[in-house]
Amino acid sequence: MITSDKNPKIQQVRALIDHAKERKTSSSFVIEGVRLVGEAILAQWELQLILISDNLSPHGREIVAAARKQAVNVEEIPPQMMAKLGDTTTPQGILAIASLPVPKLPERLNFTLICDAIRDPGNLGTILRTAQAAGVQALVLSPGTTDPFAPKVVRAGMGAHFHLPIFQFNWPEIQAVCQHSHLNVYLASAGSSTYYWQVNLIEPTAIIIGGEAEGASQEAKKLASQTISIPMPGQSESLNAAISAGILLFETVRQRSQ
């Protein structure tokens, strides 16, 4: 059992939770909770370390047993250390260090979501979860978007990270991806006179969702083939980025299922 806060493994977990630079340098991130660790194991994700405490549920212990069969290193720590270490208000007695993925871009894309400077971790995590549910092939993050492997994003993603390829590209790279797959690029814009159901989303498509505070960047506007809007007869000026993404992604699903 690990009992010291100064243990290198404990210090590594803290650094990965707190610092994006550490996550990038070590190519690792932290996942917490029975569901997320279980999702990672089912997806055969590379786990470097699992930390558990004695308040772990029976289901959690089944997950740990499966991890041990995959030769994952499992260490026990006291519940009070787990409570201090974790990023959740009610720790479930399990967290893990997972390796960052090295995703491969599909040769041809036909359903892509581009997040343009989405800074809110909860929104980005929800977008991830929604995109994975809608069958998006690749999630592309522009410069200025929050770290997709930060704890709050991972938690809000509810396991989507293990199934959806995530790419952090600059704008020339994003443009090259769209051109290579001949994607029609639609930018969500409240000022557009074209409603989202009026465009053909059956063709190879990329949808751009702009940031909550400043909206779409100039680079996004330049890349877009067309702007589309979601009508809002109420008093609100704009929708939450995750809500907008959900509406547009599942309109794509609807059109393609007919």
For the chain, residues with pLDDT lower than 50 are none
Position 111 scores a pLDDT of 99
Position 49 scores a pLDDT of 98
Position 210 scores a pLDDT of 94
Residue 218: both structure tokens together: 């100039």
CA–CA separation, 244 and 29 (whole Å): 28
Kindly report the backbone phi and psi dihedral angles of residue 162, in degrees, each rounded to the nearest multiple of 5, phi listed first. -85, 0
Domain boundaries, given as residue ranges, for the chain: 8-99, 111-257
The pTM of this model reads: 0.93
Q: How many helices (H) and strands (E) does the chain have?
A: 10, 10
Position 87 scores a pLDDT of 79
Note whether 8-99 and 111-257 share their fold. Answer: no
The architecture (CATH level 2) of 111-257 comes to: 3-Layer(aba) Sandwich (3.40)
Q: What is the DSSP letter of 147?
A: P
CATH superfamily of 8-99: Ribosomal protein L30/S12 (3.30.1330.30)
